[in-house]
Structure 1
Amino acid sequence: MAGRASRDMTEGPVFGHIMRMVIPMSFAIVAMMLTGIVDAYWVGRLGTAQQAAVQMSFPVSMLMMSVAIGLGAGAVSAVSRAAGKKDFSSVRRIATDALTLALLMVGAVSILGILLVEPLFRVIGATETMMPHVTDYMTVWFAGNVLIVGPMVASNVLRAIGNAVVPSMMMIIAAVVNLILDPFFIFSEVPFVGLPGLGWGVSGAALATVAANAVTFLLVGWYLAFREKLIDFSWPGFSEVFHHWGEIARVGIPACISNTFNPLSMVVVMGGFGMAQFGDAAVAGVGVGGRLEAFGIVPLFALSASIGAVAGQNGGAELTDRVRRAFLTSFAFCLGWGLLVALVLIVAQGPLAASFLPSAAGQEVARLYWMLVTLTVFGYGITIAASAGFNGLGRPSYGVMITSSRAIMVIGFSIAGAFIAGGPIGVIAGLAVANLLSGVGTAAYVLTRAPMTAKAGKGRKVPKPVDKVDAPA
């Protein structure tokens, strides 16, 4: 490969390549999670309206992030398959076109977002007390969104060529810079240390995120261009650029859709047909149970961000046995790690529940969640790993099928469980059954029936050469 830190993942132990990517990615995801928690803490010190405004913005910002994740998945798929074929000129061209597409798309959406902040959030339900803070926060966030999404797509390009350490370092740097800037940008006087700050309130919280990502954008841009030499400054013509954009979107759009199924299903589960009908304590119990579970299964999230590159490179090289091994070892890792996390949470359930939940009813629900849902969370890990792997192979329809099937199971079994049992145990049991059936079903299908070959989009039409004709005398 072109750069110094890139790796050929078509040779050597398949699981070794996966773990080499999962480990640094896990640390990076934890850093980003902690940033979100600390952000919420600092904004909460401003007041209830400010905190509510930032929380109200979360669904919109996550929707934008899902677009970035989709574009990143499309970039990983196209770049990794070209890398597997050892077509390094295409790797550079696709990487450049992927970044260009991301910047143009996100820039256009951000301009629209700035113009429509107020009407958009009034539709969502922002109150009059929230609205000024929503406008302050989201205007800055939209204005700097290119600087947030750019590093995400660039990091996906690096992972596609087997470079896992640098993208993870960039995420950790962004998290650390954000944590340092937050109190200085938000408050006139920094709490606990008494240093002067800028006092920009919720705008400062958004600007801290944008500034932190701007730093990483500069760093990762320099690294892509001058260390990995993945930026092609030549102009190949609109035909080739549009062809690459189409190939990235062919995977990226379904990946974006697939990425929304799990949060949408959980909205239903937590709503009036699910846990909410059993009271605040039940909702709080499941919420705490799920948040602690999420920290425990960070390596499974990291796995889903890593397997696409391994499957894509080996699929591009037509090494179907190695693709199958990537799926098999990933599923085994999901099973082992998921059961380990469940064991830890079950053993520590008493002290953990008491620490995070004031009511006995909420504590009981959290303990039930860990004993049933977390015990089967390996099934969720299998579904997200399989979906990401098929995206890497250029087969996003399989990923959509897997994630949508699980979402349907989650909604159906949870609502049915609530109706049959008449309490939180029914919803929790429904979630556990959905995890188990979707995980086992996905593993069985992938390993016995699903194709292990990479699939490219339609080839670019190249004009036929015109024979030279002598000019008439």
Structure 2
Amino acid sequence: MIDPTPKNSKEAQKYKKMLEAPVKPLIASLALPSIISMLCTSFYNMADTYFVSKIDTTSTAAVGVTFATMAIIHAIAFFFGIGSGNSISRLLGAKKRTEAATMASTSFFYTFLCGLCIAILGNAFAAQLATLIGSTPTILPYAIQYMSVILIGAPVMMCSLVMNNHLRFQGSAAFGMVGITVGGFLNVFLDPLFIFKFHMGVAGAAYATILSQFVSFCILFAMTWRGGNIPIRLGNIHPCWPIAKEIVAGGAPSLVRQGTQSLSTIFLNVAAGAFGDAAIAAMSIVTRLSFFAASVVIGFGQGFQPVCGFSHGAKKYGRLREGFWFAVKAGTLFSLAAAAVAIFWATPILEEFRDDPLVISVGAAALRAQAVTFFLVPLTILSNMCLQTTRHTVGAMLVAAGRSGLFLIPTLMVLPRNFGLTGLVWSQSVSDICGFLLAAVLIRGFFQQIPKMDGAK
């Protein structure tokens, strides 16, 4: 087969970089913009939580409860974005750009339709949904205000995440970073403006979020047309079973991971609700802080994923192996540093969000407990990403389900009942240990199956 890509084109230069550049500097260069993008993505939720916490404890708890809805939206978006992105990176590694272009536009189309359905159905049953995800009677009115607005922006929010993943899997994480970063900073500016200046309360935080997401969407769409990336074109939309099958195979682990995270958030809200609104507020703040720290580790993984996909597609298994362990080591070093900060400064960190003594007490204990096992998280996350990108769907789904669902949900059902508030704050740590052990077994089996190649770059 004749390679249709001109040897002096941007596409050819990118292909050469992904398969021939030294692995460690390449992953570092791809990870940095991915980390910034992930931090800005988590910043949307962090900013809403921070500014809403200045209103009162009930409003803080309401935004925390609706994090489950955001997790559902993100779960479906990552299902399409990573499912198609994995395929795109392997197709580009095999020099099949035409097929990759079809995958990119078709998955974008699927995502928009799904987001539209979520916006319509979610608002039609907003009250029932808010109650289902753990809202107490006092929290419910505020949760509906926030969630109804967020749901309206679901199509734009989901398509932005898909385009960001497409750019990342093509080795253009910096392009995606621009769109996500601009939106993140805009959200920080608009939150206090809408909440306090315009007196819109929790609804103002939601309006600030979806407006910022729309700006990100416009920038990301423009970026798909630059730098040799694959643009989104109507003519490239070809809905068919083979494309849907590839998205399902590549995206199912992400859907499981994000979906179980959403489900575990619901269980967390219900478990914390037994100890009052202050406990819900405290655990929601800690959840956001933990996700913020984990975003850096996920960013290392996202820097590794395109290298993993290209290397696997080109059968450069030694390069894949080297990249994996470099990302794990880098993520673990960061995790140890983040854990130290959380353990020694847990109380001052919580005081930045609320001045409620009970919220601070519960939150500080939970943050320290999660910090103790945070160094185990990088291997778990990287194993999931490696198995997913190389299309080891079952193993990836098991790892994805482990930390956020398979182990966390049972611990939330058992520990708080038997050990009270102490059991609640240690539930995530117990789940982290179990998830780490499962990931270690599965990733060891994966590397035993693929060939060992010496002298990988």
What aligned pairs does 1:177-192 form with structure 2 within 5 A after superposition?
177-186=186-195, 190=197
Instruction: Give 5+ residue unaligned stretches, structure 1.
Output: 191-196, 455-473
2:328 paired residue number: 331
CA RMSD of superposed structures (Å): 4.0
266 and 127 in structure 1: CA distance in 2 versus 1, 3 angstrom threshold: closer
Q: Per-residue deviation at 1:70?
A: 1.4
Q: Residues 397-416 of structure 1, C-alpha deviation per residue, up to 9 Å, x if partnerless?
A: 21111133344344556766
Q: Per-residue deviation at 1:438?
A: 3.0
Partner Cα distance (1:319, 1:279) in 2: 54
Q: Residues 214-247 of structure 1, C-alpha deviation per residue, up to 9 Å, x if partnerless?
A: 2222222122135435126474685x74422331
219 and 409 in structure 1: CA distance in 2 versus 1, 3 angstrom threshold: closer
1:391 paired residue number: 388
Partner Cα distance (2:408, 2:134) in 1: 27
Q: Residues 264-319 of structure 1, C-alpha deviation per residue, up to 9 Å, x if partnerless?
A: 346546754xx777888887776666655544443212224333322212111122
76 and 212 in structure 1: CA distance in 2 versus 1, 3 angstrom threshold: same
- Maintained 8 Å contact 2:60/2:281: no
Partner Cα distance (2:50, 2:222) in 1: 33
Q: Give the SS at the match of 2:19.
A: coil
Partner Cα distance (1:125, 1:150) in 2: 27
Matched, 1:31 2:29: no
What aligned pairs does 1:71-82 form with structure 2 within 5 A after superposition?
71-82=80-91
Query: How many residues are aligned here?
Result: 440
- Maintained 8 Å contact 1:113/1:142: yes
Matched, 1:108 2:117: yes
Partner Cα distance (2:181, 2:285) in 1: 25
Q: Per-residue deviation at 1:81?
A: 0.8
- Maintained 8 Å contact 2:376/2:432: yes
- Maintained 8 Å contact 1:257/1:400: yes
What aligned pairs does 1:142-153 form with structure 2 within 5 A after superposition?
142-153=151-162
- Maintained 8 Å contact 2:69/2:147: no
276 and 125 in structure 1: CA distance in 2 versus 1, 3 angstrom threshold: closer
12 and 276 in structure 1: CA distance in 2 versus 1, 3 angstrom threshold: same
1:225 paired residue number: 225
- Maintained 8 Å contact 1:140/1:203: yes
270 and 120 in structure 1: CA distance in 2 versus 1, 3 angstrom threshold: closer
Matched, 1:169 2:183: no
TM-score by structure 2 length? 0.79
Q: Which has the larger radius of gyration?
A: 1
- Maintained 8 Å contact 1:410/1:434: yes
Match of 2:169 among 144, 160, 163: 160
- Maintained 8 Å contact 2:68/2:266: no
- Maintained 8 Å contact 1:289/1:367: no
Partner Cα distance (1:452, 1:138) in 2: 46
Q: State the AA in 1 paired with 2:221.
A: G
Q: State the AA in 2 paired with 1:223.
A: M
Partner Cα distance (2:210, 2:142) in 1: 17
- Maintained 8 Å contact 2:187/2:208: yes
1:86 paired residue number: 95
Greater displacement, 252-261 / 51-60: 51-60
1:214 paired residue number: 214
Partner Cα distance (1:216, 1:360) in 2: 37
- Maintained 8 Å contact 1:419/1:426: yes
182 and 308 in structure 1: CA distance in 2 versus 1, 3 angstrom threshold: same
1:408 paired residue number: 406
What aligned pairs does 1:29-428 form with structure 2 within 5 A after superposition?
29-43=38-52, 54-121=63-130, 137-186=146-195, 190=197, 202-231=202-231, 233=233, 235=235, 238=238, 241-265=240-264, 268=267, 272=271, 292-348=289-345, 363=361, 366=364, 370=368, 373-406=370-403, 407-412=405-410, 422=419
Q: State the AA in 2 paired with 1:80.
A: S
Of all paired residues, the percent bearing the same amino acid is: 22
- Maintained 8 Å contact 1:387/1:396: no
- Maintained 8 Å contact 1:308/1:393: no
- Maintained 8 Å contact 1:284/1:362: no
Q: Per-residue deviation at 1:362?
A: 6.3
Partner Cα distance (1:46, 1:78) in 2: 45
Greater displacement, 335-344 / 121-130: 121-130
TM-score by structure 1 length? 0.77
Partner Cα distance (1:380, 1:58) in 2: 21
Instruction: Give 5+ residue unaligned stretches, structure 2.
Output: 452-457
Q: Per-residue deviation at 1:256?
A: 0.7
Q: Per-residue deviation at 1:155?
A: 0.7
Q: Give the SS at the match of 1:225.
A: coil
Match of 1:439 among 424, 436, 449: 436
6 and 98 in structure 1: CA distance in 2 versus 1, 3 angstrom threshold: farther
1:470 paired residue number: none
- Maintained 8 Å contact 2:71/2:261: no
Greater helix share, structure number: 2
76 and 340 in structure 1: CA distance in 2 versus 1, 3 angstrom threshold: same
2:25 paired residue number: 16
Greater displacement, 313-322 / 432-441: 432-441
Q: State the AA in 2 paired with 1:328.
A: W
2:455 paired residue number: none
Q: State the AA in 1 paired with 2:336.
A: L
Q: Per-residue deviation at 1:143?
A: 3.1
